[in-house]
Structure 1
């Protein structure tokens, strides 16, 4: 069995990856412009590559990433700096930037695959499930001390995975159709063989055995090809939360990053105190993941009963309020109270999915939705750039 080294992190650092759509400023349709934009962005960097703006599967998408940050506020500034650079090279070309789990009406089969060989290999290996991955997500990395602790934290975080999915849900429309879901992206992505919920793992040795089985049998070539909703990232020394749709604003992205960082720190302290709750049952998490993808912030999730109580359903709003209250002391210690307040705000302003559906309900078209999404992201960016 392969031994997998886990990089030690002495504090709960945070990092964010956000995937973005490139759209025509007039028509709202996707534009395969990533090559040109990334080439221009990379001109003043070693090897011609911008360190924080990357290719994604299709040339109509770009991923921006932060460095290793101590706070969500640092991550917000980092994301906005790169987004500003991307916007500055996109605007003269008549291109807008959109952040959402799906583009409302673009068609996957019309998109050009990015030039990196690993994306062509993915298409060849996975075929139809990969060819339809016209989706954008947000990933959050939080530093932890060791692999054993990472597995324990991941087991607990699965309880809260549906809340992250509900709050980030921003993909009600896919290829011109109303999916009936708040997060169509989550259902599209889980069609990959190593995506979706992770298996329940007992410890780090169990994780090593799982990965060794897939790598030694040549089902995958590296750990990077396991795309669970939550996974350990041994090289970074992090727990990586991957279940979120790309949120329409940087504010929402960093709010959820703050929630992730606070939750991981809370779990870490509970492990030390010996009072971390027993992990949730896999079937409950699976049902709640479906309910969150279907109904978003309007979902009522299953709460497990014990020997004296039967399971019941409770609204996302109630569960989130209780979670934020539980995390209050940890948030005060970390300085993430502002991000947790912004998480609660999502329930009042409506998730990205709710805002898109409200537009359509008022008579807007899917093209109008795209322009609204672009304007929402641009307005937030321009508000922090008084020169514009």
Structure 2
């Protein structure tokens, strides 16, 4: 099977997807209401799309093609407001976060869609354990080779993305001691991890042809990489973000990605090399485990430094690009959070320390998502 051509897109354009939790308002456990939500949401004229996900207590929303993080925020807010209205009619709630704090994975139902049933047959219990919730950010690239260069440059910043978005400390009622436990579930899949190192679309096409010949994959959808090219959109897709608790943070993270991409395109700050990946898994683990308190290992010098210090350096480097793109406010907020060690995982833990009841934490998370928390 040949790799499809890389389509044209506007450089630095954005698209954002958010996987969201549907919970009942009795005990705030997950509720299998995605069909009912989709039916009600069909009555609204909205940007982007609203679609089902692997299990029936999940729903995914996405923006259209956006030019700025402020447009991302406007579209996500419009969809969020419609979701809240529909959820209220069903007496359920919508919540952000990378994991539901206390749901039991064996109780989940696979959504009735052929691809989801195929994945369930292939992956067994992992399919139900995939009731986890992420934010995906697409960024437009000028051409196919530029997309691969962008992908491998972005890979140095995977720990930044993980720590700033981390919102999954709890799994099945327990504090995992990870800020982002969600990514441990993703890593269980055989085609997860990182993309192969190549800066040539022709070489990438050869790799794709080899993998499809083996029958291991049938399309790009079968790669669960942290970042993957999306030739049908002309983008790369960054997939390591936990779903934030608010659409404002989701838009700020998209602005961070766009500002980084602008820095890469206009200043060409470095050329990635395969040796960058020698510390990739270690840095990824550190960010998942410790969040903004992680240690970051520079892939070039081997220097160890606090990740929050590395984030501050990065934000200074991209500051002019963030201002030009209108992303300064969101990027500044992320910088302040990095300095203070504040992310959504910390918010969830602080609420649980006070409330001593994860159902109440989830209720407050639902209020926060609707803009009242």
Taking structure 2 as the reference length, the TM-score comes to 0.95
Q: 1:199 to 1:86 in 2, by over 3 A?
A: same
Q: How do 1:194-209 residues align onto structure 2 when only pairs under 5 Å count?
A: 194-209=191-206
Question: SS state of the match for residue 242, structure 1?
Answer: strand
* Cα deviation 1:261-314 (Å, max 9, x = unaligned): 11111111234xxx52444621211100000000011112112354xxxx2321
Match of 1:341 in 2: 332
Q: Does the 8 Å contact 2:278/2:299 carry over to 1? A: no
Question: SS state of the match for residue 61, structure 2?
Answer: strand
Q: Does the 8 Å contact 2:105/2:128 carry over to 1? A: yes
Match of 2:297 in 1: 302
* Cα deviation 1:172-220 (Å, max 9, x = unaligned): 1111121111111001111111122223224212221221122222212
| Pair 1:91 & 2:88 matched | yes
In structure 2, distance between residues paired with 1:303 and 1:282: 11
Q: How do 1:1-388 residues align onto structure 2 when only pairs under 5 Å count?
A: 2-43=2-43, 52-271=49-268, 275-279=269-273, 281-306=276-301, 311-347=302-338, 348=340, 350-380=342-372
Task: Give the superposition deviation at 1:130.
Answer: 2.0
Match of 1:386 in 2: none
In structure 2, distance between residues paired with 1:44 and 1:22: 19
Segments of structure 1 that go 5 or more residues without pairing to the other structure are: 382-388
Question: SS state of the match for residue 160, structure 1?
Answer: helix
RMSD: 1.9
Question: SS state of the match for residue 94, structure 2?
Answer: strand
* Cα deviation 1:317-352 (Å, max 9, x = unaligned): 211111011001222222221221122133347211
Q: 1:358 to 1:269 in 2, by over 3 A?
A: same
Taking structure 1 as the reference length, the TM-score comes to 0.91
Identify which range, 316-325 or 332-341, moves more after superposition: 332-341
Q: Which runs of 4+ in 1 moved over 3 A?
A: 277-280
Task: Give the superposition deviation at 1:58.
Answer: 0.8
Q: Does the 8 Å contact 2:47/2:64 carry over to 1? A: no
Identify which range, 211-220 or 109-118, moves more after superposition: 211-220
Number of matched pairs: 371
In structure 1, distance between residues paired with 2:28 and 2:202: 48
Question: SS state of the match for residue 29, structure 2?
Answer: coil
In structure 2, distance between residues paired with 1:84 and 1:247: 16
Task: Give the superposition deviation at 1:3.
Answer: 4.7
Q: Does the 8 Å contact 1:41/1:50 carry over to 2? A: no
Q: Does the 8 Å contact 1:197/1:286 carry over to 2? A: no
Question: SS state of the match for residue 159, structure 1?
Answer: helix
Q: 1:193 to 1:52 in 2, by over 3 A?
A: same
Question: SS state of the match for residue 342, structure 1?
Answer: helix
* Cα deviation 1:59-97 (Å, max 9, x = unaligned): 101001000000111111111111111111111221011
Segments of structure 2 that go 5 or more residues without pairing to the other structure are: none
